[in-house]
Amino acid sequence: MTHEMRALPLARDDRGFTLVEVMVTMLILVIGISGSIALIDGANARTLMTKEREAGNALNREVIEAARSVPYAKLNAGSAISEVQAIQGLADSTPSTTAWTVVRRKQTYKITMSVCSVDDSQDGFGDKTGASFCSNAGTGTDRNPDDYKRVTVTVTWTRGGTTRSVRQAGIVNNEASSAGPDVEITGQDPNTDEITTPVSSVKFNVQAADTAVAIRFAVDGALVDTASSTSATFAWTIDSGPTHVPDGTYVVSVTAFDLEGTPGPTRSRTIRLNRDVPLAPGSVFGGWNPRIGFSDVNDIVEIQWARNVEPDVTGYRVYRTSAAGTELVPGCDQPTDTNFTECRDLNPPAGASVEYRVVALDEDPFGGGPREGQFSSPITAVRANTQPNQPLTLTATVDGADVVLSWPASVPAAPAYSGSNVIFYRVYRGGTAIGKRIGRSGQDSMTSFRDVDAASGGHEYYVAAVDENFSESAPLGPVAP
């Protein structure tokens, strides 16, 4: 019993942790763990930032290397970006915006690129007119001042509200450099940059350096002739026998090559041919469109034609002839619009028929104003109320970001009338007024139409059949996807 009594005080001396001690310990652990977590978060953020910068630098170098694969002539402010974007992996991920973006490692990078030409002072300074040079300082006798191009690329990205960027510049050498033999155009017959009178050919006298073994003569980049000497006379045939080069502006160039095939600087001249009035527009067709059942105007005449082949055509005009005489169709005088190939006479004059002619225009070589060419064959629009049948059904479905319309072919008109065959279908969006037209079916898909990037617009659509006289059926619709 004494032994048991003696053991009791020992048991009472085994004390635990107090609440204060436990709280202090927890506080120390929390502070320590918080610091560790902050260090880990900081390390992760720094790692992510580093990886994003690495990806930005890699993208920067990739764009510069891609620029070196672009033909030197296309490496300019106007076409360089589109040429680089066409290379696999560098396409714009947001084509609907003006920014050029590429996604790498789940981060969106914005790319800006500039290109300028450099005139190296080692061979003197030259004339920098008409090109985008990095510096315009200095003039002199350098016949080929574009020695190389400097491509500058900036890549930016945003993380946590902070925008960061990397910038690099690269050099692209001119393949037609001073390493190759020089060449000059020493004479021209006729000696003018605009030829306004009939001649069979334009001749160019060319002299190259003694190291040249070949000279190549080209027009608009297409090889025309080659000479195996240091001097030659090249003839550009523009009107001889079956050859007749259409009027327009052309670039004539010569390049000399040495024994190893190294080209020298290319020398060019711009020659404008302006000898002929424009040819008569072809494939003119159309007719009276009563537009029965439409929401706006009735009784209009629609005329369409093919674009002229001459490069110097500047626009078109449409004339009408009726009992009131010959006059320009209001709204159809477009002397500076080469894409104008369809005229709508919204108020045709009274009478059973109206005659229409189309004429192309170029620039008068003597007065400088618009010059009319040959008139097209006349087309007579006969006033009528005939219409083709509309399609029986019309459906609209969503295909990705697009809306696809489809319908069956219209039932032939019964009884048939002159020109009753359906040649295409017009598509309207948001109404049936003329201004609501958005397109028409093509020959490869007569009974369907794809409205690109329209799935989110909540649009309503109509379709009308069009016959050989350009008369439309009553519109079918509306339908929505």
Model confidence over 400-431: pLDDT tens digits? 999 999 999 999 999 999 889 999 999 999 99
Contact 254, 223 (CB under 8 A): no
What pLDDT, on a 0 to 100 scale, did the predictor assign at position 146? Answer: 75
Q: How confident is the model at residue 227 (pLDDT cuts 50, 70, 90)?
A: very high
- DSSP code of 315? E
Whether residues 290 and 403 share a domain: the answer is: no
Phi-psi region for residue 398, left (φ > 0), alpha (ψ -120 to 50) or beta? Answer: beta
Is 30 inside any structural domain? Answer: no
Q: Enumerate residues 6+ apart whose C-beta is below 8 A from 288.
A: 299, 300, 301, 348, 381, 382, 383, 384, 469, 470, 471
Q: What is the pLDDT confidence band of residue 4, given thresholds at 50, 70 and 90?
A: very low
> What pLDDT does residue 465 have?
94
Establish if 18 belongs to a structural domain: no
Per-residue pLDDT at 118 exceeds 80? yes
> Which H or E run contains 2?
helix 2-12
Question: Do 98 and 153 share a domain, yes or no?
Answer: yes
Could you give the 3-state DSSP secondary structure of residue 68?
helix
Are 94 and 146 in a shared domain? Answer: yes
Residue 177: alpha-carbon gap to chain centroid = 30
DSSP letter string, 405-451: EE-PPPPPPSS--TT-SEEEEEEEESSSSGGGEEEE-BTTBTTEEEE
Q: Are residues 469 and 421 in the same domain?
A: yes
Q: Tokens at residue 102, please?
A: 């590429």
Same domain, 253 and 195: yes
The per-residue pLDDT for 52 is: 84
pLDDT band at 73 (very low <50, low <70, confident <90, very high): confident
Q: Angle CA(349)–CA(354)–CA(356) in degrees, nearest 5?
A: 115
| pLDDT per residue as tens digits for the range 339-385 | 899 999 999 998 899 999 999 999 888 888 899 999 999 999 999 89
Least confident of 69-78, 109-118, 203-212, 220-229: 69-78
Assign 3-state DSSP to the chain and report helix, strand, coil percentages, each to 5: 15, 40, 45
Which range, of 5-9, 86-90, 302-306, averages the lowest pLDDT?
5-9
What is the rounded distance in angstroms from the CA atom of residue 480 to the CA atom of residue 396? 6
Residues 140, 141, 143, 146, Cα dihedral to 10°: -30
Q: What is the pLDDT of residue 122?
A: 59
* pLDDT number for residue 16: 63
């891609």: which residue's tokens? 66
What's the mean pLDDT in 258-272?
82
Tell me whether residue 90 is in a domain: yes
The pLDDT score that the predictor gives to residue 390 is 95
Is the pLDDT at 47 greater than 90? The verdict is no
In this predicted structure, the answer to whether residue 460 has a pLDDT above a threshold of 50 is yes
Q: Are residues 169 and 59 in the same domain?
A: yes
Rounded Cα gap, residues 49 and 27, in angstroms: 32
- How crowded is residue 30: how many other Cβ atoms within 10 Å of its Cβ? 10
Which region among 14-18, 236-240, 283-287, 474-478 has the lowest average model confidence (pLDDT)?
Answer: 14-18
The answer to which of 202-216, 242-256, 316-330, 383-397 has the lowest mean pLDDT is 242-256
- Same domain (yes/no): 228, 330: no
pLDDT mean over 4-27 = 61
In a shared domain, residues 59 and 123:
yes
Same structural domain for residues 166 and 193? no
Q: Per the domain annotation, does 9 fall within a domain?
A: no
pLDDT at site 249: 85
With a pLDDT cut of 70, the percent of the chain lying above it is 87
CA atoms of 97 and 414, how far apart (whole Å): 50
Q: How far is residue 306's CA from residue 310's CA, in Å, rounded to a whole number?
A: 12
Predicted local distance difference test score (pLDDT) of residue 143: 58
Please name the amino acid found at residue 357. Answer: R
Residue 66 has pLDDT above 90, yes or no: no
Spatial CA neighbour of 373 closest among 305, 302, 300: 305
Query: What is the pLDDT averaged over residues 79-103?
Result: 87
Same domain, 261 and 194: yes
CATH assignment at residue 435: 2.60.40.10
Write the CA distances from 300 to 296, 320, 332, 333, 414, integer angstroms.
11, 13, 13, 17, 24
**In the predicted model, what is the mean pLDDT of residues 289-308?**
91
pLDDT band at 134 (very low <50, low <70, confident <90, very high): confident
Residue 29 lies in a domain: no
Which residues constitute the domain of residue 457?
A: 395-479
Can you give the pLDDT at residue 383? 92
Helix/strand/coil (H/E/C) assignment for every residue in 203-257: EEEEEECCCCCEEEEEECCEEEEEECCCEEEEEEECEECCEECCCEEEEEEEEEE
Per-residue pLDDT of 35-45, as tens digits, reads 555 565 556 66
12 lies in some domain: no
Residue 145, classified by CB atoms within 10 Å of its CB into exposed (0-12), middle (13-18) or buried (19+), is buried
- Say yes or no: 168 and 187 in one domain: no
**pLDDT at residue 442, as a whole number:** 78
Number of separate domains in the chain: 4
Identity of residue 289 = N
Residues 238 and 199 in one domain: yes
Average pLDDT over residues 307-333: 92
Strands 222-227 and 194-195: unpaired
Mean pLDDT score, 143-152: 78
187, part of any domain: yes
Smallest CA-to-CA distance from 113 within 159, 156, 147, 144 is with 156
Residue 3 pLDDT grade (very low, low, confident, very high; cuts 50, 70, 90): very low
Tell me what the mean pLDDT of segment 129-154 comes to: 74
Instruction: State residue 7's pLDDT score.
Output: 46
How do 107-118 and 201-208 pair as beta strands?
unpaired
Instruction: Flag whether 169 is in a domain.
Output: yes
Mean pLDDT of the chain: 85
Pairing between β-strand 107-118 and β-strand 183-189 as defined by DSSP bridges: unpaired
C-beta neighbour count of 7 within 10 angstroms? 9
43 CB-contact burial (10 Å; exposed 0-12 / middle 13-18 / buried 19+) = exposed
User: Which domain-ending residue is among 353, 382, 411?
Assistant: 382
Q: What is the pLDDT of residue 2?
A: 46
Say how far apart CA 251 and CA 253 lie, in whole Å: 6
